[in-house]
Structure 1
């Protein structure tokens, strides 16, 4: 039986659909290589107990998808015995005598493998066997197609524009150990032992998810003629061209040697949902020719630029932050596919303190333009059994709104102002996170310089939101704008801090001095945040009730809208020289922390 997308019901919460949708949409035209996300090692999150059971893996992967992880590092093991890509590090025994334990037998952690005999137990959740192989317990016939079935089912049930999010896979290739020697390194695989034809990982990926994958060939074709690809769609789906190099031939055809499409193009125009790369490849597979694999899978490391980062004891970044006040050119701020290296977990802390430390680090890395990667099994438990700590961390990778924001005008206690809480400001005491505000208030406005992502200035006069859009920005080449990524947000925040105290003062009690308009509003539909000024319409529907019904219904069924817990009030400092806020306290500590379930 195929595995399904089947997360825990407790994770299916649509309360914060607006947060996810608005953050996805505001970054929708930034090339995907500059959009940070949340990444996790499947080995650590689902198999940290060395138990590779199909039903548990189904639940674990479903939970990780449901709580919002977008990128998965997956370890695959080629078994020369069963000629399959397994999730278990040891090959499933073939042509050996299997001693089946009684159903109520207590599992052991060590295999009884000797002289051609192996112990197995019935898998209580299926009709399969669970083999005891050294330190591992492995379901028979648990392989790559099973894993992809979960993604396939998830894609089928999340086919609304409101809930489509890109996923990324990084496949690390290994050789499965011999079942008679499960603790010893695997042998080198050569010649006919190597995968061929339909056994190749690329074939399996194409067979299971081919219609959902944006592949290397599509990227090559799109890059060679931008006029007919990324430029040939609706304006809302076109990329922000300042992020990549553009060349033009004598016939006027534009191309790019290094550009990537933006999420809106991939998700909504090309109707694709996934990108796949090879990560690491073990020396035992040196003869495996990956050049034949590039039909649907990118070459090793193509979607990865590892950034060596380190962290202080409080979870703030000591080094590796991509933000640099002295560098504002895209060519100098190399954040393309930036992903953190593994950060060791702190010692001598309680579970709650450890989770808060990691959360602060995730917040910090995201603000620095780096995708944080979780490579550890949290507190010795996997996400099928205890998903809450894993959920708390992926929530920390959200970068835009402050705690309890955006305020829902329909439930605010101040009914007199409820209809006007439809515009967004950057709040400096919240270290650059966003708040809803009355659109008729007067504030200064954030202005982007020459369409450059990391160059900002501030309007000199305070105006209402509508007037700010029309004539706030001080000179030619500047325009009222909104940050579209965590790194853009950090650059704007630091730009504002550098302004004269007469214009900006984060320590002031006067909102005029610590709030700044950004071009983001929900004036058309209260649950739909858009950029482009007060006249911009919601791209999904003009009926607010319909939008709300669709958002809640699809999210509840699909389980992909995450509850952003009252979180992320302030950024932690990106560098040691980050300015203190009004309260002279460490930032991003004020979120409603759930702690580690007992």
Structure 2
């Protein structure tokens, strides 16, 4: 079975990458620029100690944007869905229904299993230290599917459709047979109410079993409610303000590295237990707004802390490239529901370009800066640029040797910031030198839009004018590898070799070579004793030969 799944996923991935070139010329997606790639990776890396429920996850409502028409060939929809994931979209809303005894995407002929399999193929292809990231899938059962919960003792919930439908639906992984039939003989059927009925023999449980579909596609990648419970018991969870909590969530580092997970699935249906599965969270974990924000946009530190106490803050709305980032700065993850279709799906790119990089300026990070002669220059350090005159703020690359103020954060307080009083070069903010920050403060960087919002609030409160501030982000050790931890932090993806390390590595070999060379030179100068007295040795040999002849017995012939 697993071999079949692997072949299926591989063939689908190859089909998307190779076989669709001629078919989809009208919906060509551009390649991701190196600046966007490095920028997205740097955002992910600085968020490694942020809990997953506080991450900014730009999303798409697939029913409004893409899966909104019935096609005989769904390859083009899968192709565009794959490219949305490739562009960096991290959360998706997917509405599903039952059609011809199988779960499908609402108002399409696209099988839910095909969607799961494509997501799995994408996660497999990006499951590396460079590219792995979290994804959130919000499933919503169509209102046309009228399902009613049925609980039998301690068993997991089974769902039965309305009377008008003759198909019983099983979500539980214990349903292993190819068909399922309620046993009513000699049994009190009052617990079934009016929904007690027999499943037709031609219905396949595997097509209607959500847990089985997830097992066959995304199983090992899914972060489940049981995984969360285990992390809470082990003390791996934190609250939104950065303190250990038995009701919190794991950090992104724990999620990706310790747990080796990639995707979290939640039920967005109106009824919290519409999709009972061991893999799926109910909608009680979400703060999901539709149309307008209910939390408002915080503009004071206490308000920012209040917003951070809400987990998984999503706003499903119609956005413009000019306002979508504002909602991200307010602490929301936008779910784009602008009406697109297959003919204009790439028109979503301006929205993605305005939202995916909430930190860097357009075309940043970049190191393509002309070097000036007779000056120290290293454009490998990041600054936070703030201009209150036009309310602009962003990160950009600057010369590490220039003297600027530095950004400091108080201990583990995510929203308490301070700017140094005197300017220094980036290299002066080395933790071994005290980092130029006051006691109990450390050189740092805003890791989320809410933290950056708190920084803006602090700068406004202290009436800062146009200012450039060093932040804890650089690519000094390896070009284009942006890391935190001060000017001497190492790149986790590529080994760097400084002159000092190179000298230490070569020192033992050079010392050994020099010793061998000295020995050879000494032996060349030193003469062997037998060669130093050749004449004496020759006389001695002649004398010994004559004595031996005299002592020979007999008469010579």
TM-score with structure 2 setting the length: 0.69
The answer to whether the Cα contact below 8 Å between 2:51 and 2:240 also exists between their aligned partners in 1 is: no
Give the deviation of 1:289 after TM superposition.
6.4
Corresponding residue for 2:521? Answer: none
The answer to whether the Cα contact below 8 Å between 1:84 and 1:143 also exists between their aligned partners in 2 is: yes
Q: 1:53 to 1:175 in 2, by over 3 A?
A: farther
CA distance in structure 2 between the aligned counterparts of 1:169 and 1:368, rounded to whole angstroms: 22
1:148 is the counterpart of 2:156: no
Corresponding residue for 1:339? Answer: 314
Deviations 1:194-230 (A, max 9, x none): 235343212211221101111111110011112xxx3
Q: Secondary structure at the residue paired with 1:427?
A: strand
Give the deviation of 1:522 after TM superposition.
1.0
Corresponding residue for 2:234? Answer: 225
Corresponding residue for 1:72? Answer: 92
Corresponding residue for 1:476? Answer: 439
Corresponding residue for 2:328? Answer: 366
Corresponding residue for 1:325? Answer: 300
Corresponding residue for 1:200? Answer: 209
CA distance in structure 2 between the aligned counterparts of 1:543 and 1:201, rounded to whole angstroms: 47
CA distance in structure 2 between the aligned counterparts of 1:257 and 1:190, rounded to whole angstroms: 43
1:428 counterpart (386, 403, 415): 386
Q: 1:10 to 1:372 in 2, by over 3 A?
A: closer
Give the deviation of 1:324 after TM superposition.
2.8
Q: 1:468 to 1:48 in 2, by over 3 A?
A: same
Give the deviation of 1:386 after TM superposition.
3.2
Give the deviation of 1:53 after TM superposition.
4.2
Corresponding residue for 1:401? Answer: 360
Q: Secondary structure at the residue paired with 1:30?
A: coil
CA distance in structure 1 between the aligned counterparts of 2:72 and 2:59, rounded to whole angstroms: 21
Corresponding residue for 1:542? Answer: 495
Q: 1:216 to 1:242 in 2, by over 3 A?
A: closer
1:211 is the counterpart of 2:220: yes
Give the deviation of 1:412 after TM superposition.
2.0
The answer to whether the Cα contact below 8 Å between 1:451 and 1:478 also exists between their aligned partners in 2 is: no
CA distance in structure 2 between the aligned counterparts of 1:498 and 1:447, rounded to whole angstroms: 16
Q: How does 1:223-372 map onto structure 2 within 5 Å? A: 223-226=232-235, 230=236, 243=241, 246=244, 256-281=245-270, 290-291=275-276, 293=277, 295-302=278-285, 304-307=286-289, 310=292, 320-327=295-302, 330=305, 333-343=308-318, 358-372=320-334
1:174 is the counterpart of 2:146: no
The answer to whether the Cα contact below 8 Å between 1:38 and 1:69 also exists between their aligned partners in 2 is: yes
Aligned length: 422
1:87 counterpart (100, 105, 129): 105
1:54 is the counterpart of 2:74: yes
CA distance in structure 2 between the aligned counterparts of 1:193 and 1:428, rounded to whole angstroms: 60
Q: Secondary structure at the residue paired with 1:536?
A: coil
Q: Secondary structure at the residue paired with 1:162?
A: coil
CA distance in structure 2 between the aligned counterparts of 1:177 and 1:170, rounded to whole angstroms: 17
Greater Rg over alpha carbons, structure: 2
Q: 1:375 to 1:328 in 2, by over 3 A?
A: closer
1:491 is the counterpart of 2:454: yes
RMSD after superposition: 3.0
CA distance in structure 1 between the aligned counterparts of 2:322 and 2:494, rounded to whole angstroms: 37
CA distance in structure 1 between the aligned counterparts of 2:386 and 2:481, rounded to whole angstroms: 24
Deviations 1:340-374 (A, max 9, x none): 1434xxxxxxxxxxxxx611221111111101111
1:447 is the counterpart of 2:402: no
Give the deviation of 1:298 after TM superposition.
0.8
Higher helix share goes to which structure? 2
The answer to whether the Cα contact below 8 Å between 1:368 and 1:486 also exists between their aligned partners in 2 is: yes
Q: Secondary structure at the residue paired with 1:163?
A: coil
Deviations 1:478-497 (A, max 9, x none): 21110001111121122123
Q: 1:481 to 1:52 in 2, by over 3 A?
A: farther
CA distance in structure 1 between the aligned counterparts of 2:327 and 2:228, rounded to whole angstroms: 28
Q: 1:75 to 1:440 in 2, by over 3 A?
A: same
Give the deviation of 1:428 after TM superposition.
0.7
CA distance in structure 1 between the aligned counterparts of 2:376 and 2:117, rounded to whole angstroms: 45
Corresponding residue for 2:83? Answer: 63
Q: Secondary structure at the residue paired with 1:372?
A: strand
1:462 counterpart (413, 416, 423): 423
Q: 1:49 to 1:144 in 2, by over 3 A?
A: closer
The answer to whether the Cα contact below 8 Å between 2:240 and 2:311 also exists between their aligned partners in 1 is: no
Task: List alignment gaps of at least 5 residues for structure 2.
Answer: 1-7, 18-26, 147-160, 176-205, 498-557
Give the deviation of 1:321 after TM superposition.
3.9
CA distance in structure 1 between the aligned counterparts of 2:376 and 2:164, rounded to whole angstroms: 67
Task: List alignment gaps of at least 5 residues for structure 1.
Answer: 90-137, 179-185, 231-238, 247-255, 311-316, 344-356, 507-513, 545-598
Q: 1:258 to 1:498 in 2, by over 3 A?
A: same
